[in-house]
């Protein structure tokens, strides 16, 4: 059974990032943005990743979450790629509230907020029609297209009348709740989006959240079971960008195995005709807080 109202309550209470956290995140991003405006090459700040896509979820107990912002900067011919990241790091390091919280990573500076989340600040420049981020470790630029990806996902979400992002959050919650397979959020989100077809506007396959979950989960599982070896999954807005570049066969095989099990449980819970039995089956997937 579908239990549409229970899914709505479960998303609101257990899965979606709660209002207090989202308000706090927005407040901190606004403050960080005000600090970064002091940089000579500053242009603007833009939400990135699940924060921008609307697929960010509440962290499970004992775990934090991460949010990303893209810092658009003017290009300076005299700067090396690593300098852009270091400039961001140095600016935040000067602030008394963040001097002990800011750290350097390969493609960003990030702020670690104790016990809850960390914020990645990814500098980038636009040249022509391409956006470049910086690899500080190798001191080189890398082309990306997070904005194009967001537009692609939003288009897919419109086809499903908003169900795609709900399904994405549910599958991310399942990953974090079960904690027995590893898949990056961008990979999981891309698998969801790839399995929504452009000719399905108004389709009953996305009539409600549980129906959309079953539809998309079955399609993802079919793809996974037909590919024993790890496939290459690319950014649909930038074919040269491989989202599987830091995945490996071992992690993929575990993901493929566990997704097959959970996909079966989704079908069992959906197809059960007794209400109590169906709730119990959904709880085996999502925990006792469902229903």
For residues 75 and 201, membership in a common domain is answered with no
Residues 6+ apart with CB under 8 A from 76: 41
Mean pLDDT for 218-233 is: 98
Q: What is the reported pLDDT for 34? A: 97
From 82, 114, 144, give the residue that closes a domain. 144
Asked if 235 and 243 touch (Cβ cutoff 8 Å), the reply is yes
Does pLDDT of 255 surpass 80? yes
Q: Is 48 helix (H, G, I), strand (E, B) or coil?
A: strand
For residues 113 and 169, membership in a common domain is answered with no
CA–CA–CA angle 52, 55, 61 (5° rounding): 120
Q: Give me Rg for the CA atoms of the chain.
A: 20
Mean pLDDT for 272-276 is: 97
For residues 167 and 102, membership in a common domain is answered with no
**pLDDT-derived band at 263, boundaries 50, 70, 90:** very high
Mean pLDDT for 18-37 is: 96
pTM above 0.85, yes or no: yes
For residues 279 and 253, membership in a common domain is answered with yes
Q: What is the reported pLDDT for 218? A: 98
Pairwise CA distance, residues 126 & 143, whole Å: 10
pLDDT tens for each residue of 122-163: 999 999 999 999 999 999 999 999 999 999 999 999 999 999
Write out the DSSP string of 188-241. HHHHHHHTS-TT-TT-GGGSSHHHHHHHHHHHHHHHHHT-SSPPP-EETTEEEE
pLDDT tens for each residue of 43-65: 999 999 999 999 999 998 777 88
For residues 205 and 273, membership in a common domain is answered with yes
For residues 166 and 247, membership in a common domain is answered with yes
**pLDDT-derived band at 38, boundaries 50, 70, 90:** very high
Confirm whether 4 is domain-assigned. no
Q: Which two tokens stand for residue 199?
A: 């000719």
Write out the DSSP string of 148-190. HHHHHHHHHHHHTTTHHHHHHHHHHHHHHHH------HHHHHH
Mean pLDDT for 201-210 is: 98
Asked if 72 and 94 touch (Cβ cutoff 8 Å), the reply is no
For residues 116 and 210, membership in a common domain is answered with no
Confirm whether 3 is domain-assigned. no
Pairwise CA distance, residues 110 & 59, whole Å: 18
Rounded mean pLDDT of the chain? 96
Mean pLDDT for 219-228 is: 98
Q: What is the reported pLDDT for 64? A: 81
* CATH number, domain containing residue 94: 3.30.460.10
Number of folded domains that form the chain: 2
Confirm whether 8 is domain-assigned. no
Confirm whether 27 is domain-assigned. yes
From 93, 124, 144, give the residue that closes a domain. 144
Confirm whether 9 is domain-assigned. no
Does pLDDT of 31 surpass 80? yes
For residues 132 and 193, membership in a common domain is answered with no
Confirm whether 94 is domain-assigned. yes
For residues 168 and 217, membership in a common domain is answered with yes
pLDDT tens for each residue of 92-104: 999 999 999 999 9
Tell me how crowded residue 285 is: count the other CB atoms within 10 A of its CB: 18
Q: Which long-range contacts (CB under 8 A, 24 or more apart) does 107-114 make?
A: 107/133, 107/134, 107/135, 107/136, 107/142, 108/68, 109/85, 111/32, 113/28, 113/64
Return the bridge partners of 2, or none: none
Confirm whether 60 is domain-assigned. yes
Q: What percentage of the chain has pLDDT greater than the value 90? A: 96
Q: What is the reported pLDDT for 114? A: 80
pLDDT tens for each residue of 212-222: 999 999 999 99
From 104, 126, 144, give the residue that closes a domain. 144
Q: Which domain holds residue 137?
A: 16-144
Mean pLDDT for 199-220 is: 98
Q: What is the reported pLDDT for 60? A: 83
Pairwise CA distance, residues 69 & 158, whole Å: 24
pLDDT tens for each residue of 180-192: 999 999 999 999 9
Q: Which of 103, 14, 56, 84 is nearest to 288 (CA)?
A: 14
Confirm whether 236 is domain-assigned. yes
For residues 98 and 201, membership in a common domain is answered with no
């Amino acid at each position: 059974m579908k239990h549409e109202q229970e899914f709505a309550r479960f998303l609101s209470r257990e899965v979606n990032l709660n209002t207090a956290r989202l308000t706090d995140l927005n407040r901190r991003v606004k403050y960080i943005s005000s600090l970064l405006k002091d940089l000579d090459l500053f242009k603007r700040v833009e939400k990135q990743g699940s924060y921008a896509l609307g697929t960010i979820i509440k962290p499970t107990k004992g775990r934090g979450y991460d949010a990303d912002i893209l810092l658009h900067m003017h290009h300076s011919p005299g700067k090396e790629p690593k300098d852009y990241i270091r400039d961001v790091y140095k600016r935040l390091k000067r602030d008394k509230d963040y001097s002990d919280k800011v750290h350097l990573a390969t493609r960003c500076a990030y702020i670690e907020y104790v016990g809850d989340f960390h914020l990645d600040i990814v500098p980038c420049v636009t040249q022509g029609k391409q956006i470049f981020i910086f690899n500080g470790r190798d001191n080189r630029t890398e082309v990306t297209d997070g904005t194009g990806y967001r537009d692609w996902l939003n288009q897919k979400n419109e086809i499903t009348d908003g169900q795609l992002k709900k399904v994405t959050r549910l599958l991310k919650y399942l990953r974090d709740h079960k904690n027995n397979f590893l898949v990056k959020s961008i990979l999981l989100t891309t698998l969801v989006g790839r399995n929504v077809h452009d000719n399905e506007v108004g389709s009953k396959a996305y009539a409600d959240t549980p129906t959309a979950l079953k539809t998309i989960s079955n399609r993802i599982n079919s793809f996974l079971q037909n590919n024993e070896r790890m496939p290459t999954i690319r950014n649909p807005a930038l074919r040269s960008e491989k989202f599987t570049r830091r995945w490996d066969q071992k992690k993929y095989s575990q993901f493929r195995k566990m997704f097959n099990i959970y996909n079966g449980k989704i079908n069992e819970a959906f197809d059960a005709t007794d209400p109590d039995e169906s709730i119990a089956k959904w709880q085996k997937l999502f925990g006792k807080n469902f229903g």
